[in-house]
Amino acid sequence: MYDKIEENRERYGVYHCQYFTPKDNKELREALKSGKVLPEGIEQCENNQKKFKRIVMPKTNDDIIEYLSYKQIELLTTIKNCIVYFTVCSIVGGVLLFWQSCAA
């Protein structure tokens, strides 16, 4: 269950990853080889074990809720714009169809 939550957090942008430079990657690989533990929030990339990333989380749950509220508003605005577009197209199509039938 927690894997799914983490996957959805990353997919929907609740948190994001910052990737390290090649120099930093080399230092982290050497630290791992010498037996040191990675600092909290730093992990190896799943698709490339030579690269490392830092997970950046929002500070509080309120930040997450606020972000998701803005995202919801953005998506609802997109849906509204699509509905307006198709409504206008339908009205224009109906007027043109009526005009064509009157002209014949």
Kindly write down the DSSP assignment for every residue of the chain, as one continuous string.
Answer: -HHHHHHHHHHTTSSEEEEPPHHHHHHHHHHHHTTPPPPTTEEE-SS-TT-EEEEE--SSHHHHHHHHHHHHHHHHHHHHHHHHHHHHHHHHHHHHHHHHHHH-
pLDDT digits 0-9 by tens, 15-27? 777 788 888 888 8
The tokens describing 81, both together, are 């714009």
- Take residue 62 and report the two structure tokens written for it: 């309120």
The residues pairing with 52 across neighbouring beta strands, listed in sequence order, are: 44
pLDDT at 48: 65
pLDDT digits (tens, 9 = 90+) for 44-100: 776 666 777 777 777 678 877 888 888 899 999 999 999 999 999 999 999 999 999
